[in-house]
Amino acid sequence: MINENEKNQSSASTSNISDSQGKKSNSLLWKHYNKQMHNVRPAGTANSRAIIETQKYLDDTVLSPDTNPLEWWRINQQIYPNLAKLAKIKLNAMASSVPCERLFSVAGNILTERRSRLGSRKLEQLLFLQQNKK
């Protein structure tokens, strides 16, 4: 009976040691894998990769109208990394109406009693220049 307990304890400790060694080797394996993957460069030129990524995106299925585009891009940013960066910039909506109010204020300053004969095209051009003169 004592021999059986000793055998069970020694086999249990051996399995614990082998488990910890297995975890270490598994961890080392993943570290090596991540290091190797970090050094891998995609094939082709930047231009060709962009064309391939864009074509892959265009070949993908169309989203339903109730899909959240920001969430979709977050999920698919690994597949379309460059397009996801652009989407974050373009889909970033300002949560304020200040730019719109500022534009109306500038339009009011430009189109005064003295300048009431300005055509809509000229007013639009002046507003565009005023807005982009930074």
Contact 69, 87 (CB under 8 A): yes
Strands (DSSP E) contained in the chain are: none
Give pLDDT tens digits for 56-88.
Answer: 999 999 989 999 988 999 999 999 999 999 998
Name the residue among 100, 106, 99 with its Cα closest to residue 130. 106
Provide the whole-model pTM: 0.41
Give pLDDT tens digits for 1-12.
Answer: 555 555 555 555
